[in-house]
Chain A
Amino acid sequence: MKILIIEDEIEIANSIKSYLKTNDIHCETASTYQTALDKITMYDYDCILVDLMLSDGDGFTVLKELKTLNKSDGIIIISAKETLETKIEGFNLGADDYLTKPFHLSELLVRIQALVRRKKFDGNNKIEFNEIEVDTLAKSVKIGEKKIECTKKEIDLLLFLIGNKNKVLSKSAIAEHLSGDMADMLDNHDFVYAHIKNLKKKLNDAGSNDYIKSVYGIGYKWNND
């Protein structure tokens, strides 16, 4: 998978790049409006991350340019601006998703995965991991041939964990994924533990391997060993 990060803050671009690298995602970066324009006209990307505030231009112009070029690349806006107006304008200009800074890289990763999934495999929304199969549309989980009953939150959590396989996920990242903006207003993330416990039990009861490892003091990891 190849994505383009249009971001004038090099350190943020580097962090994203190094986080996504292990998931076989090749990242290219453009820190100015001009290089971004050069790259989008020359290459196709699976997904483009656009920061709205660039030193030499506006991220929205990049979106307009993509529209006139008739490109179908998936677009995720990453911005510190979080007003409804900018979000609506972004979506109107063809953005597929909007992530407010500061965000968790794990969150960005699953958003990219979901976006690419939507773009590439029309209608086919099955995610498989060894014996586990998740249907993101029907919202169902199967272990081998056995279907298990999971709540919406648990499926959400499962997708988040699988999407970030072999990565350490902090409780706050999981909490934020499960409850959106509200999560960082909470002063404890005990509810994450409850969800993990339930999901773990359901998977184990259905005969799945125990992939969820707790990482001391931090959070959890979907471990494929």
Chain B
Amino acid sequence: MTKKLLHTTLKYYVSFSLIVMLLAAPLFFFITQLMYLHETDEALMLQKEEFELLYAPELKDKDIAVWNKWNRDIKIEKVQKIISKDTLYSHSYYNNLDKENEPYRVLNSSVTINDKPYQFSARINLVDNEDFIISILMVFTMIILILLVGLFIITKRLSITLWKPFYDTLEQIEKFEIDKSSNPKLTSNSIEEFNRLNLAINKLIEKNTRIYKSQKEFIENAAHELQTPIAIFKGKLETLLQRDDVSEEQFEILGKLNDTTTRLNRLNKNLLLLSKIESKQYNIPEEVLLNEVITNQLDFFKEQALAKNISINTDLETNTFVKTNLFLSEILISNLFLNAINHNCANGSINVALNKNSLLFSNTGLSKSLETAKLFERFSKVNPSSKGNGLGLSIIKKIAENNNWEISYNYQDKLHIFEIRF
């Protein structure tokens, strides 16, 4: 599955920020927790120092009970022995007002009041851990959300502005067809990489178009140049046929030569025709009465079909005007007929149906579907031993393409169906 480039980058951004956030949240919690406890401990120690400095010298024994009564968080208890070390610990106490346990930080230390040892214990109410975690989570969720929205907006904007030349180029290349005369115009822009891309593509297209053109010209020239030698060969062969001293055996050889020359000539003519269609010589469209084009050729092909005992049935809608070139439409029809006759079987049939939207040629023949992948390619032959040159269908396809028509092949109910949609 392919994804858009920006979605891929966005995906990485998002996963990275999520990982960072998820790791940072507990870390943040522990560090703040530590710092908070540290601060609380310092505050407790300060309270103790304050007590020792300010209150302890003035407290009388009897005041201690009063002190304990009015002080919730600092208590003084009489002990037998002085505790040598201060102890700091966390502890939960039940709060009667809230009806729940509250976390406290407690300092146990010893003080001397009136030369008697007392235990000094101070406590500070801590923020509830649960509340603390929830607030941290909320803050972090907010940050993640803002970050994601920000990333999304930034990448979106980048796709519109920064990547615009890239998408322009892409669109142009998508539209490009080497056999069409218009080349894409890739304009330069301010991004160096895209400029390089455009330059490289321009170069590539230019080179390929040049090669394609020279290839096309070569085929055209070759076919053209072949006409004269074929003409000479044909002429000589015909002259040779007229000699009195030709034996039956030699006649047979000459016959084969003659057939081959005809084939060669046909091949050459089709090549010429193909390059002519490609060169857009017949690109001037006119309103062509297609049903008439078919009926004009019908007699000839009925005669041809008769030799193979093939019947031709037609169902032509009258007044079917199609915007195309007359010459090309004639070639198209005759090639469709030729194809249907040449690849038919004895006692077969051909059906021709024409209406405003489509032209349908169906014929009997090989009792299996033809291989569709290469069907319309040049020199692809269904039956390698057939005398066809494998150009007929590519001529049909070229003409269809020239008119922007769709051509399709189907094998249905033992019929080979070629359909052209206008």
Contact = CB atoms under 8 A, between A and B. Distances in A.
A11 to B, nearest CB: 5
B29 interface: no
B307 interface: yes
Contact of B300 (A173, A179, A188, A217): A179
Given A12-B235, A106-B238, A190-B307, A185 B338 contact: yes
A184 B306 contact: no
A34 interface: no
B242 A168 contact: yes
Interface stretch (B83-91, B108-116, B262-270): B262-270
A194 B307 CA distance: 8
A187 B239 contact: no
A15 B228 contact: no
Contacts of B81: none
Contacts of B236: 11, 15
A39 interface: no
Interface in B39-57: none
Interface in B228-275: 228, 230-236, 238-239, 241-242, 248, 251-252, 254-256, 258-259, 262, 265-266, 269-270
B357 interface: no
Contacts of A84: 327
Contacts of A188: 307-308, 387
Contact of B238 (A173, A184, A187, A191): A173
A218 B248 contact: no
Contacts of B242: 19, 22, 167-168
Contacts of A11: 232, 235-236
Given A172-B259, A185-B334, A15 B235 contact: yes
Interface stretch (A96-104, A140-148, A155-163, A202-210): A96-104
Given A11-B232, A182-B300, A104 B248 contact: no
Contacts of A121: none
A18 B243 CA distance: 11
A9 interface: yes
Nearest to A79: B227
A83 interface: yes
B281 interface: yes
Contacts of A217: 248, 251-252, 254-256
Nearest to A11: B232
B402 interface: no
B231 A103 contact: yes
B218 to A, nearest CB: 17
A9 B251 contact: no
A187 B388 contact: yes
A191 B303 contact: yes
Interface residues of A, number: 39
Interface string B138-173: 000000000000000000000000000000000000
Contacts of B386: 187
A153 to B, nearest CB: 8
Nearest to B248: A216
Of A15, A18, A184, A185, the most chain B CB neighbours within 10 A belong to A185
B209 interface: no
A213 to B, nearest CB: 12
B334 A105 contact: no
B351 interface: no
A185 B262 CA distance: 9
Of A18, A187, A215, the most chain B CB neighbours within 10 A belong to A187
A170 interface: yes
A87 B11 CA distance: 68
A186 interface: yes
Nearest to A187: B387
B256 to A, nearest CB: 8
A80 interface: yes
Contact of A102 (B231, B342, B387, B392): B231
Interface string A70-109: 0000000000100110000000000000000111111000
Given A16-B235, A19-B235, A19-B242, 13 more contacts: A9-B231, A101-B231, A105-B239, A167-B242, A170-B241, A172-B262, A185-B335, A187-B342, A187-B386, A188-B308, A216-B252, A217-B248, A217-B251
18 contacts: A9-B228, A9-B231, A11-B235, A15-B232, A15-B235, A18-B239, A19-B242, A84-B327, A102-B230, A102-B234, A104-B238, A170-B255, A172-B259, A187-B387, A187-B388, A190-B307, A190-B308, A216-B248
Ranked 4 nearest A-B pairs via Cβ: A15-B235, A102-B231, A190-B307, A217-B255
Interface of B: 224, 227-228, 230-236, 238-239, 241-242, 248, 251-252, 254-256, 258-259, 262, 265-266, 269-270, 281, 300, 303-304, 306-308, 327, 334-335, 338, 341-342, 386-388, 392
